[in-house]
Amino acid sequence: MRVFLVQTAHGLSPSSGGYKAAAKGVEPNIVQHDANVKTFSDEDGIHNIRSDVSPQMQGIIDTCTRHIGLFRPTHIVFNDALTMKITAVHPARSRFKRVTVVHSAEQLPFGPYCAGVSGHCLSASVENDMLRSVDGVWSVSRAIQEYAWEHGRLRTKALVHSPNTFLSNKTRDMPIIRNNVDRDEVGMINPCPYKGLSIILDLAKRLPNIKFVTWESWGSKPQHIEMLRSLPNVQVLPTTLHTNEIWDRIKVLLAPSIWYEAWGIVVTEAQLRGIPVIASNAGGLREAKLGLPYCIPVKMALVKLMTDREAYLALASLTAVKTGEWLRGLDVRAHEKWLLSMMDENDQYLEK
């Protein structure tokens, strides 16, 4: 099996996998296009390529097409409409399986969250048709799987992140469990409206004696940072590549998203380290919480964890144990097995 992965993103982040891949010697071919290029899909159908495609966009098309031919994959895994269209008309289309990853409700061309974030789902009717032609659709949670079926009657395979996602890059060991009972800060990552900015602002105002620290990320805009910094008990820090700085510092993590989260990877990362998480019940966050306290309401739970030492210690221990058991119970080969299940004896591209 040879898997060709296409990763499209605004930029690398600790959770994107790019740094881990680079550390293992993977050499990506990076192509950029003008920010004004909106879409490769249009209402004329997937076989139509406009003659006025920008040089930047044409570069992406040519590069992807060329590398697919050179690599000779058995599977192509992607999460964007552009790659879905390129692979649909590739000369070697019959010799590989096309698998799309659904990691947000916004990227699906149907339902109440369709195109809810800029840059997602730019041509819903075309993308909806294309989705029906791929060989596999991978949902990163049961919440996304249920959403896809309820709103689009789209069958998907629910597979959470590989267990290796959460292990040490160097040793492949479980994360180190923290003992942060004497820390005095509540943390939040990526403060923005989608992630519950209004909630942390309200909490900071209502609880002036509790310290809050936030780390900027892709959704944090200058106006959001200004609102946070206007409060004396809130500190705003830049994005860090060293996530241990976060886990060593905070006592409790807030994940009060108001949008339909696919999973909430920071929730799992914190819980594995014995850091209690107070989250909303939006989308896949409920799954990520594993039934552990607390979801909502936030204020009462936060005050209890920040002031009741025994309650904190008990929950921190339960959090680390239960999340660790969950992770150890996952099948490290689940994704591989699913991809292999798509193949038959006539799909052995490697020797052809």
| Residue-wise pLDDT tens digits, 255-292 | 999 999 999 999 999 999 999 999 999 999 999 999 99
**Averaged pLDDT, 192-211:** 97
Which two structure tokens, joined as six digits, stand for 60? Answer: 């992406």
Q: How far apart are CA 111 and CA 105, in angstroms?
A: 8
Rounded to two decimals, the pTM is 0.84
Write down the pLDDT at residue 60: 81
Alpha-carbon Rg for the chain, nearest whole angstrom, is: 22
Residues 6 or more apart whose CB falls under 8 angstroms from that of 180 comprise 248, 250, 251, 274, 275, 316
Which two structure tokens, joined as six digits, stand for 339? Answer: 């991809």
Residue 199: is it exposed, middle or buried by C-beta count within 10 angstroms (0-12/13-18/19+)?
Answer: buried
**Bridge partners of residue 100, in order along the sequence:** 78, 137
Answer with the residue of higher pLDDT: 94 or 298. 94
The pLDDT mean for the chain works out to 88
Answer with the residue of higher pLDDT: 196 or 347. 196
What is the four-CA torsion angle of 272, 274, 278, 284, rounded to 10 degrees?
A: 10
pLDDT bin (cut points 50, 70, 90) of residue 121 is confident
SS3 (DSSP) at 73: coil
Q: How far apart are CA 37 and CA 31, in angstroms?
A: 14
Domain chopping of the chain, boundaries? 3-162+331-347, 185-328
Q: What is the pLDDT of residues 330-342, one digit of tens each?
A: 999 999 999 999 9
| pLDDT at residue 41 is higher than 70 | no
pLDDT bin (cut points 50, 70, 90) of residue 14 is very low
One-letter amino acid at 126 equals: V
* CATH number of this structure's domain 3-162+331-347, picked from the four choices 3.10.450, 2.40.30, 3.40.50, 3.30.200: 3.40.50
| pLDDT at residue 122 is higher than 50 | yes
**Bridge partners of residue 237, in order along the sequence:** 215
What is the four-CA torsion angle of 318, 324, 328, 334, rounded to 10 degrees?
A: 110
**Averaged pLDDT, 197-223:** 97
**Averaged pLDDT, 22-34:** 59
**Averaged pLDDT, 136-140:** 98
Q: How far apart are CA 237 and CA 152, in angstroms?
A: 40
Write down the pLDDT at residue 296: 77
Q: Same CATH topology for 3-162+331-347 and 185-328?
A: yes
One-letter amino acid at 215 equals: W
pLDDT bin (cut points 50, 70, 90) of residue 35 is very low
> What's the gap between Cα 319 and its chain centre?
22
- Pick from 307, 256, 250, 315: nearest CA to 280: 256
CATH code linked to domain 185-328: 3.40.50.2000
Q: Which residues of 302-325 are buried (b: 16+ CB within 10 A; e: fewer)?
A: bebbbeeeeebeebbeebbeebbe
